[in-house]
C-alpha cells in the first residue's frame, strides 16, 4: 500500500523477480540509481510508479508489512505496463509475505513467436503441472478488459455529448452567418448562381471552419496530452496501473475527420435555408 501524489492510498504491484528477469526484459533500463542487491530489502521502482506515488525516490525508505524497503533505483521500460511495478528479490519477498517458494507468474522469452504453440503444448500436456499458458499481450489484454471497457464507454458517451453540442454550435454560427449575408446571397442569386451553388458555398465555409477548429484542437491535444502520464485502478488485480497518453497522427486524423462530419451536419440546414431565400425578399430585407 502506497500513497498517490494526491494523498490517497493505493495498491502498488510489488513483484519478486529472479536474475533472469532482466534478460527477459531487454528494454528495461535503470535511469537513476542502481539495481537492487540480491538478498537485501531493496527495491527497484518503475518510473511510472515513481511519478504517481509518494516516497519512491532513490534513497527513500518505505515500510510495507513488517519490513522496511530501501529504494535503490528507478527504471524505464519504453512505456510498458511494468513501469507501474516495483521489483525486488523474490527470495526476499516470499518469506516477507509468507509465500513459501511459490510463484504466481512466470515469464519466458521465446526464440520466436512461432515457438509459442510448442512451448504451450509442452507445459499443458505435462500431468505434473497445472498452469495456464498465454502470450503476454493476451494476458495483459485480459487484465485490462474491464478498465478498457469503462474508459471506452465513458469516452464514447463524452464524445457523443460534445458532438451534439458542437453540432448546435455549428448550426448557430452558420445561421448567424447566413442572416448576416442575406444581401450577398441575394446578389449571387440575381447574377444567375443557382441554389446548388449557394448550398455548396455555405457548406464549404462550414467545412473550412470545422477544419481550422479541429486542426487547432488536435495540435493542443498533441502538445498537452501526448506523453501525459496518469494512473488508474486495474479492476482485475485492484492495483494501480500507470499509463501514458499517446496522441498519434492516426488519432489526430480521426479527430479532424469527425470534426468535418460535424461541420457538414451543422452547415447543412443553414445552407438549405440560404438557398431557399427568395431573391426579391432578401434584397428588400437587406
**Could you read off the pLDDT of 173-188 as tens digits, one per residue?**
888 887 777 777 777 7
CB atoms under 10 Å from CB of 26, counted, come to 9
Query: What value does the mean pLDDT take over residues 184-210?
Result: 82
HEC letters along 87-140: EEEHHHHHHHCCCCCCCCCCCCCCCCHHHHHHHHHHHHCCCCCCCCCCCHHHHH
Cβ atoms of residues 71 and 35 within 8 Å: no
Cβ atoms of residues 15 and 88 within 8 Å: yes
- 18-22, 159-163, 257-261, 278-282: the lowest-pLDDT one: 278-282
Cell of 213: 477548429
The string of pLDDT tens digits covering residues 121-136 is 998 888 888 888 988 8
- pLDDT of amino acid 240: 63
**Of 43 and 280, which is predicted with more confidence?**
43
If pLDDT is split at 50, 70 and 90, which confidence band does 87 have? Answer: very high
Q: Where do the structural domains in the chain lie, given as residue ranges? A: 2-109, 110-142, 144-285
- Host H or E run for residue 64: strand 61-64
If pLDDT is split at 50, 70 and 90, which confidence band does 284 have? Answer: low
What mean pLDDT, rounded, does the chain reach? 83
- pLDDT of amino acid 270: 85
d(CA 152, CA 220): 21
The string of pLDDT tens digits covering residues 259-274 is 999 888 888 888 888 8
Most confident range, picked from 49-58, 209-218, 237-246: 209-218
Pairing of strands 42-46, 67-76: parallel
Amino acid at each position: 500500500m502506497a500513497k498517490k501524489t494526491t494523498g490517497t492510498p493505493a495498491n502498488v504491484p510489488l513483484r519478486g523477480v529472479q536474475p533472469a528477469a532482466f534478460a527477459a526484459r531487454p528494454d528495461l533500463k535503470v535511469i537513476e540509481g542502481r539495481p537492487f542487491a540480491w538478498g537485501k530489502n531493496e527495491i527497484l521502482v518503475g518510473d511510472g510508479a515513481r511519478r504517481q506515488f509518494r516516497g519512491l525516490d532513490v534513497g527513500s525508505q518505505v515500510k510495507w508489512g513488517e519490513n522496511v524497503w530501501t529504494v535503490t533505483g528507478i527504471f524505464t521500460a519504453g512505456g510498458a505496463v511494468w513501469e507501474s511495478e516495483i521489483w525486488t528479490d523474490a527470495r526476499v519477498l516470499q518469506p516477507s509475505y509468507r509465500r513459501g517458494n511459490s510463484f504466481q507468474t512466470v515469464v519466458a522469452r521465446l526464440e520466436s513467436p512461432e515457438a509459442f504453440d510448442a512451448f504451450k503444448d509442452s507445459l499443458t500436456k505435462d500431468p505434473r503441472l497445472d498452469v495456464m499458458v498465454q502470450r503476454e499481450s493476451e494476458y495483459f489484454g485480459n487484465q485490462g478488459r474491464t478498465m478498457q471497457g469503462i474508459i471506452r464507454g465513458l469516452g464514447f458517451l463524452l464524445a457523443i455529448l460534445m458532438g451534439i453540442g458542437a453540432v448546435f454550435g455549428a448550426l448557430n454560427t452558420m445561421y448567424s452567418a447566413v442572416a448576416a449575408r442575406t444581401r450577398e446571397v441575394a446578389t449571387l442569386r440575381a447574377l444567375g448562381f443557382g441554389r446548388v451553388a449557394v448550398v455548396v458555398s455555405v457548406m464549404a465555409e462550414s467545412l473550412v471552419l470545422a477544419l481550422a477548429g479541429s486542426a487547432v484542437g488536435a495540435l493542443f491535444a498533441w502538445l498537452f496530452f501526448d506523453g501525459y502520464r496518469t494512473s488508474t485502478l486495474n479492476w482485475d488485480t485492484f492495483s494501480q496501473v500507470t499509463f501514458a497518453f499517446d496522441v498519434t497522427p492516426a488519432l489526430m486524423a480521426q479527430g479532424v475527420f469527425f470534426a468535418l462530419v460535424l461541420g457538414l451536419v451543422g452547415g447543412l440546414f443553414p445552407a438549405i435555408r440560404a438557398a431557399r431565400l427568395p431573391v426579391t425578399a432578401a434584397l428588400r430585407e437587406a
